[in-house]
Amino acid sequence: MTDTSVAAQVAAKWRKKRGSLIMALHELQDIKGYVPWDDAMEMAKDMNIPLARIYEVLTFYNFFKLEAPGKAVISVCTGTACYLKGNDKTLEEFKKQLGINEGESTPDKMFHLQCVRCVGCCGLAPVCVVNGKTYGRVTTGDVSNIIAEWRKKFEEEDKE
Amino acid sequence: MGKLKIDNQEVEVAEGTSILDAARSVQIEIPTLCKHPDVDPSAGCGMCIVRVNGRIMRSCCTPVAEGMEVITTDAELFEVRRMVLKLILSNHPNSCLSCARSGHCELQDMANVFNITDAPLPNLTKRTPIDDSTKAIVLDSSKCILCGRCVEVCQNKQNIWALSYLNRGLATRITPANGINLEDSPCIKCGQCSAHCPTGAIVEYDDTGRVWEMLRDPEIYTIVQIAPAVRVAIGEEFGFKFGANLTGKTYAALRRMGFDKVFDTNFGADLTIIEEATEFVRRFTQEPESLPMFTSCCPAWVDMLEKFNSDMIPHFSTCKSPQAMVGALAKTYFAEKNGIDPKKIRVVSVMPCTAKKWEIVRSKDMSSSGYQDIDVSITTREFAKMIKQAGIDFCNIAEEAADNPLGEYSGAGTIFGATGGVMIAALRTAYYYITGQELAQPNFTDIEGLEGIKETTVTINGKDIRIAVAHGVGNVEIILDRIRQAKANGEELPYHFVEVMACRGGCVAGGGQPRVIGAPFAKPYGITDEIRQKRANGLFEEDLNAKNRFSHHNESIKTLYKDFIGQAGGEKAHHLLHTHYTPRDMYKSK
C-alpha cells in the first residue's frame, strides 16, 4: 500500500462541496504529480463517490495522469505560432528519440512527453519547456542536446 | 395531457411522454438501438430521429408538446437512419456468423430491416481484449455500440458501479474502473448488463462444450437440475408464448440429451424453505437480536452482501441456495442410496442466471460432498442452444416427469423464481411451524408484482411479523439504511424478514434468460416489465393449481429428513445445506 494520506486530506477538504470531484482530483495531482490507484480508492471511500465514476472523469480529461510521469516533463508547444514554425517536427523527433508517444513516460521514468497549447512567449517560437526551463527557436537538431542535458543533470544528482 | 399529430394521427398522451413512447401508443415503431423501456433515454444512437414541425430531432429524449406535428418516416429520415447504421457498422466487427448473439441481436436485426447490403463504409473496428475473467459474463467491447444501457443498469438501477465509460471520443470503451477486469471489480455477475445489451458485447460465459463432454463420457454419471424460472422462459426460444410453463417438455428434452437423472431445483427450493423457515423461527423466538433475516438464494445478492454490506452478515440466512442444496444431495444422499461413486457423478444445473456460474465455486462450502457439488451451471440461453444442437423437436416432444428422489416439488417451490415467491413460500411453512396449523389463505398478493420494494405484515400467534421484499439490488439500499438507522437509534426494527433478488422481477428476468425477437413485441428489448410479469404469472399459476402448495408437505423431503438428514437445522443439515459468509473487498487490490 502506498501512502494515501494526501488523498485523505484532499477528500476531507472537498467532500462537503457538491460537484467538486474535478477540483479535488486537480489538487491531488498538483501534489503527487499524478493520481495513483490507491489514492483514487481513498478518494472514492472518503468522498462517497464510486471508483468507477472517478475513473470516468480521470480518463475523460486528457489533463489527468494515471502513471507517475518521468522526472523531466518535456512540454512541446503546439499552439498556432509554434506549430506553424515547425514544432510538429520537433514533437516527432522527441517521440522518435525517446521511443514514446505524447502523454507517455520513458520506462526508466526519466522523461515525460506532453503537448501544451501556448506558453506565452510566441516571439521565441517554436518553444519547448522542460521542468520550467524554456528553450526557444528549437529545431529538430536541438532535441538530442536537450535530452542529453537533462540526462546528465539527473545522473550528476544521483552521484551526489 | 398533450394533443399532437404523429404521421397525421391524432394522439393524446400524458405530459412529459417522449415522442417515441407516444408513437408506440398508436402502433408506430420508431427504430432505436439505445432506448430501452427500463432505462432513461441516453440519446446515444441517433436512430430514433423524427421530423418535428419540420425539424429533425431525436424522439427518445424529446417530450411531446401541444399541437406538435411529427413525421416519423420519410425519404430523408430513412436515408439518415441508414447512414447512422452504416456508421455504427463501420465500427463493429463483421462477425455475425460466429457471434453468440446472432439471430437474437438488435443490431443485426436493424441492419436487415434497413437493408444494409450495399457499399459498406470502411471497417475501422479495433479489436480489444475480451474480458472473460468472471467465467460468468463475457465482455467484448469491440462489439459494443456505446448505447449506454448496461452502464445505466449497472450504475443507476443495480447501484453496483462495476461498469463505466473509459476514455472519451473514439477511444471510449465500457469497462470497470480504469480498464481492470470484471473479476477484480465490484461486479456481482447478475448479468443485467447482458440482459439489456442490444448486441453481442456482453454475453454469458459459454459452458455448453463442457456439458457435452460429460454427456459423451460413458464413465460419467450425469445429473441435471432445472431452476424454477427456466420452465417459463425456455419456450420463448421455440415460439411459445411468454410465460408458458413447459416443465414436462424440459424434463423430456434433458433426458433425450442423455442425462442419467433429471432432478428439479424446485425440490431444492422446498428444502431451502424447510431449513430457512426453521432458521427464521429459531431467530424469531430465541435470537431476536439476529433479526431481520435476509434470504440468501440469490448469488448476486450474496456477492453484494459480502462486498458492499458485510456489516449485515449476522442477519443473513445461512441456507445455501436451492441449486447448491440439490448439488450437495446428488453427490451424497442420492449417490449413497443408489450405490454410485460420487467421484463419477457430474451435476449440471440449468439456471436463468449468470451469477450461478460463480456461486458453484464461491467457497469451500460449495464442495460439501467432498467434491465440487455442482460441476457446471448453464443459462437458459445455453440450454436452448443445446436442445437445438441435439436436434430435439422441443415444440412437439411429449411431456415427461422428473426423477426421484430429488424431483418432487410443491407450488411453494416453483414460485421461488419470481420476486416475492421465496417469502411467500417461507411464510407458509413458518406459520405452520409456529402455530401447528396451515395458513387459511396461502396467497400474499401484497408482495407479488413489480413494485421495487414491497411490504406486508403477517400476524402469527398474535405477533406481527414485518416483511419486506426488494428486487433489483438498487432498491435494497433503502431497506438496509432503514435497518441501520433503527439499530443506531435503538429503535424497533422496521422488518423481521427480508427477501432480496438481484434482478428486477426476480429470477424470471435473470441475466441468463432468453432474449428473443418476436411477437407480440414489434422489437426485441431482451427483457421488459410485460415479459417479467408474464413469466411470473406462469409460475404463480402453477402454484395456484398445484396439488400441494406447502414445502413441508413434500413427501420426498420428509423421506430425506427421515432417512438421511435427521433434524432440520441439525448437524448434517449444517454441513450440507448451510454456508458461511466472509467480508470481501469491493476491488481486488492491485
Cis check for the bond before B93: say yes or no (omega within 30 of 0): no
| Per-residue pLDDT at A143 exceeds 70 | yes
Query: pLDDT per residue over B317-373, tens digit each?
Result: 999 999 999 999 999 999 999 999 999 999 999 999 999 999 999 999 999 999 999
Least confident of A17-21, A143-147, B217-221: A17-21
- In the DSSP assignment, the letter for residue A30 is H
CB B196 within 8 A of CB B39: yes
In the Cβ-directed half-sphere of B150, how many Cα atoms lie within 13 Å? Answer: 30
CA–CA gap between residue A134 and residue B286 (Å, rounded): 78
Q: Is A66 on the interface with B (CB under 8 A)?
A: yes
Cell readout for B485 is: 438507522
- In the DSSP assignment, the letter for residue B464 is E
Say how many CB pairs under 8 Å bridge A and B. Answer: 43
**Nearest to A32, CA basis, from A65, A63, A55, A60:** A65
Q: B57-62 long-range CB contacts below 8 Å, 24 or more apart?
A: B57/B19, B59/B18, B59/B19, B59/B20, B59/B23, B59/B30, B60/B18, B60/B19, B60/B20, B60/B32, B60/B34, B60/B35, B61/B18, B62/B18, B62/B19
Please indicate whether, in this complex, the C-beta atoms of B164 and A41 are within 8 angstroms of each other: no
| Per-residue pLDDT at B520 exceeds 70 | no
ipTM exceeds 0.95: no
CA–CA gap between residue A22 and residue A61 (Å, rounded): 10
Please indicate whether, in this complex, the C-beta atoms of A59 and B167 are within 8 angstroms of each other: yes
Instruction: Work out the average pLDDT over B495-511.
Output: 97
Task: Name the amino acid, one letter, at B436.
Answer: G
| Mean per-residue pLDDT of chain B | 94
Question: Which positions 153-192 of B are in contact with A (Cβ < 8 Å)?
Answer: 155, 161-168, 176-178, 185
Please indicate whether, in this complex, the C-beta atoms of B178 and A37 are within 8 angstroms of each other: yes
Instruction: Work out the average pLDDT over B113-125.
Output: 84
| Per-residue pLDDT at A39 exceeds 90 | yes
**Nearest to A98, CA basis, from A90, A106, A88:** A106
| Per-residue pLDDT at A118 exceeds 90 | no
Using a CB-CB cut-off of 8 Å, the residues of chain A touching B167 are: 59-60
Rounded (5°) CA angle B42-B46-B49: 110
A57 to chain B, minimum CA–CA distance in Å?
8
Cell readout for B72 is: 416519423
CA–CA gap between residue B406 and residue B479 (Å, rounded): 35
CB A54 within 8 A of CB A40: yes
- In the DSSP assignment, the letter for residue A83 is I
Cell readout for B274 is: 424447510
pTM: 0.92
| Per-residue pLDDT at B524 exceeds 70 | no
Nearest chain B residue to A50 by CA: give it: B161
Q: Is A2 on the interface with B (CB under 8 A)?
A: no
CA–CA gap between residue B499 and residue B513 (Å, rounded): 21
Run of H or E including B360: none
**Nearest to A103, CA basis, from A152, A147, A69, A154:** A69
Query: pLDDT per residue over B229-279, tens digit each?
Result: 999 999 999 999 999 999 999 999 999 999 999 999 999 999 999 999 999
Q: Is A25 on the interface with B (CB under 8 A)?
A: no
CB B471 within 8 A of CB B506: yes
Instruction: Work out the average pLDDT over B460-471.
Output: 94
Please indicate whether, in this complex, the C-beta atoms of B155 and A51 are within 8 angstroms of each other: no
A154 to chain B, minimum CA–CA distance in Å?
30
Mutate to test the interface with A, among B139, B153, B175, B178 (most CBs of A within 10 A): B178
**Nearest to B466, CA basis, from B205, B250, B280:** B280
Cα-Cα-Cα-Cα dihedral sign, residues B427, B574, B260, B562: negative
Report, in this order, helix, strand and coil percent for chain A, each rounded to 5: 55, 10, 35
Nearest chain A residue to B176 by CA: give it: A52
What are the Cα distances from residue B195, in Å, to B133, B370, B519, B584?
A: 19, 35, 18, 26
Using a CB-CB cut-off of 8 Å, the residues of chain B touching A41 are: 587
Alpha-carbon radius of gyration of chain B = 25
| Per-residue pLDDT at A5 exceeds 80 | yes
CA–CA gap between residue B224 and residue B218 (Å, rounded): 16
Mutate to test the interface with B, among A55, A58, A66 (most CBs of B within 10 A): A55
End-to-end, the C-alpha distance of chain A in Å comes to 29
Cell readout for B323 is: 441449486
**List of domains in chain A:** 5-60 (no CATH), 72-159 (3.40.30.10)
What pLDDT, on a 0 to 100 scale, did the predictor assign at position B111?
92
| Beta-bridge partners for B411 | none
pLDDT category at A117 given cuts 50, 70, 90 is confident
Using a CB-CB cut-off of 8 Å, the residues of chain B touching A55 are: 164, 166, 177-178
Query: pLDDT per residue over B509-519, tens digit each?
Result: 999 999 986 65
Burial class from Cβ neighbours inside 10 Å (0-12, 13-18, 19+) for residue B489 reads exposed
Burial B478-488 (b: 16+ CB within 10 A, else e): ebbebbeeeee
Selecting from B164, B167, B589 the residue whose C-beta is nearest the C-beta of A52 gives B164
Cis check for the bond before B292: say yes or no (omega within 30 of 0): yes
Query: pLDDT per residue over A83-106, tens digit each?
Result: 999 999 999 999 999 999 988 899
Least confident of A88-97, B117-126, B499-508: B117-126
| Per-residue pLDDT at B523 exceeds 70 | no
B321 to chain A, minimum CA–CA distance in Å?
30
What pLDDT, on a 0 to 100 scale, did the predictor assign at position B157?
96
| Per-residue pLDDT at B525 exceeds 70 | no
Please indicate whether, in this complex, the C-beta atoms of A51 and B163 are within 8 angstroms of each other: no
Cell readout for B232 is: 417459463
DSSP B494-509: S-SEEEEESSTTSGGG
B468 to chain A, minimum CA–CA distance in Å?
27
**List of domains in chain B:** 2-88 (3.10.20.740), 90-204 (3.30.70.20), 225-577 (3.40.950.10)
